[in-house]
Structure 1
Amino acid sequence: MGIQDIRDHVTTATEASDGTYDVDAIVTEIGETYGYDADPEQIPGEEYWEIVGKHADPVA
């Protein structure tokens, strides 16, 4: 795993969700929290989606 793998995973997950997300900020937080070699599939779902939720763009 590497940063591009994390980015690909986050992009796929957020494209399947309503709203828009700051993918760069999500990738950075995952990398800083779990390491840039982390496998996003191994991050507990609740923690993963909490990180994603923090970087959701507010609805105008």
Structure 2
Amino acid sequence: MGCRLAEGNYIAVQVDDEIAIDWKRWVYKPDMGAIVNRDNSYTLPYNYVIFRVSRYEE
């Protein structure tokens, strides 16, 4: 359990094959809270979760 993630946003997608998604065709729309096709016609057709890693401050 010694690995660390760099600060930033991450997307984890459940797919059958690691090359199933051409990321050039997709964008994140924060107003919708969703990943959509660049022409906004449909959302990503896979289960996914978006999370952010930030520095812990006391």
Shorter-normalised TM range: under 0.3
Higher Cα Rg: structure 1 or 2? 2
TM-score (norm 1): 0.27
Q: Which has the higher strand share?
A: 2
TM-score (norm 2): 0.28
Q: Which has the higher helix share?
A: 1
